[in-house]
Structure 1
């Protein structure tokens, strides 16, 4: 009986795997290192060898497997499963789906890692299977995943939900890795928080952060929220300034997508209510009332497991 799914979440440093029942029960999970040598050519072989070894260890037969769902970074054609470009891995027009299907003899489904994380959060996390949801990942960059009428929205060529590259500072914005300036992720990502903090320090507007930077030689988003928690006024103003930009972006997305939930994940989301309360305030200020009434902003539940659950659910949906 086919009752098991494999979820895979490919990152630039590690690749997460999970064996999950079609009801959503996690049987096992593990990680392997991501081999980015030779432009990432070894990655699909490492994935399948790792899965084979784990299935053998657990005495699980291949005849129980429904399929494999994979989240990968970069721009991906969800139909062909070709990764057009994934800079951190070294892939250019890499046919990940075809290689994995040839290795495994199983159906393989590929989508962007942020989209996959959105599916996972909606299936077994804080999304609770709503039909319309926006997932926002605040990490090194800002990722997005859109579920519309129960399906991931990918767009014409796989660039749907790249919300980190919405322009939120039209003039004199920070430079982004995409080659433009003023993108959302230049200010609202973990690196963006630190970038804005250092600018405020240079402008003499964040003395407590300056002291922390001098003491440690560096500064993190965790430091920023910790100092704000102590009641430091300027640091709280810094957080409100950043989240005002994020709240505006989410308000515009809400009137476009009309989601029931906006789920905030990624490392920055660990700040919890320190993040969600000022973000909600900003969102409420800018959002169309009818869109706001229908939408709830929540913190993601699954953490690093969202990708493997999402990969498994993608395979379940497509099977």
Structure 2
């Protein structure tokens, strides 16, 4: 079996992580993981300089000569088919609006026109990556969420992301599903946590890490807010467990690090609803995202 390789990129608002992946094994090549932190609101040329450094460093360290393509995990709004960025007014990538990222990367790296450069959203990459990390033993119908500044979702059927049809919400997204007095993301996100903490304590805090640290010190209100989020998350996903016929559910994103404070409440709620879905918390969001990106170039019979 010939080895084939892809370069995976996980692009966030403050970082880029690159790694070379053996596609037919779905394994990250030793020493190829390279991460750079940056301000994504720098002029586009400055951000692209950092991206280029990450890509070239990872590729060089892998000692792989030939790539089958680049596979990129990007936040939205983004035209994933055509490679065009539509992020605007989100305090990130302010200078990238309407730019064709595929062509900018191809030009920067002097890549041939026939080398695939593919894109997918961060939640889909996470879900597919979790499947491929252990595909032989993994669920065939896996549903995942990423909990952070927003609420990402993925619906994975045997390694493929499903984003249309009656078994999933519109575009495979949960963040904008109507919930209580707003939408799901109003309640299950860093923003929702901070708002609720202010509501119950009267205190303003800066970020999710501060709330997590408060919970670690035994702050009753902080713990209560996380537990409520777990219950809210359960209410949001339970209907889709049934519609998608999911047999496993995985939680990722920065807020997953606080699972000790919300997972029990989440599990209790789904148990009371009669759900038998197996629940996991991701142990490595970043590697999952890279594998999920590279899975766009995966061939089952290489």
Q: Fold match, TM over 0.5?
A: yes
Per mean C-alpha deviation after superposition, the further-off stretch among 142-151 and 263-272 is 142-151
The unaligned stretches of length 5 or more in structure 1 are 171-181, 203-209
Which residue in 1 is equivalent to 2:98? 93
58, 64, 73: which one pairs with 1:60? 64
- CA 1:54–1:197: 2 relative to 1, 3 Å: closer
Match of 1:272 in 2: 259
What SS does the corresponding residue of 1:70 show, helix, strand or coil?
A: strand
1:47 aligns with 2:51: yes
| Pairs within 5 Å for 1:11-26 | 11-22=12-23, 23-26=25-28
1:307-318 map, 5 Å:
307-317=289-299
- The Cα offsets for residues 100-153 of structure 1, whole Å up to 9 and x where unpaired, read as 345422211101112111111221169954222111111122111221353112
Give, in whole Å, the separation in 2 of the partners of 1:218 and 1:151: 31
Instruction: Say if 1:144 and 1:163, in contact at 8 Å, map to a contact too.
Output: yes
Alpha-carbon RMSD across the aligned residues, in angstroms, is 3.2
Q: What 5-or-longer segments of structure 2 have no aligned partner?
A: none
Which has the higher mean CA deviation after the structures are superposed, 138-147 or 125-134? 125-134
Listed one character per residue, the Cα deviations across residues 75-108 of structure 1 (whole Å, up to 9, x for unaligned) are: 2333323333364212333322343345422211
Pairwise CA distance, 1:17: 0.4
Identify the structure with the greater helix proportion: 1
Contact 1:276 1:297 in 2 (8 A): no
Partner in structure 1 of residue 194 of structure 2: 194
Query: In the alignment, what sits opposite 1:302?
Result: 284
Distance 1:54 1:268 in 2: 28
TM-score (norm 2): 0.81
- Is contact 2:249–2:278 with CA below 8 Å preserved after alignment? yes
Q: Quote the Cα distance in structure 1 between the aligned partners of 2:11 and 2:207.
A: 32
Give the counterpart of 2:176 among 138, 162, 165.
165
Q: How many residues are treated as equivalent by the alignment?
A: 286
Distance of 1:284 and 1:139 partners within structure 2: 25
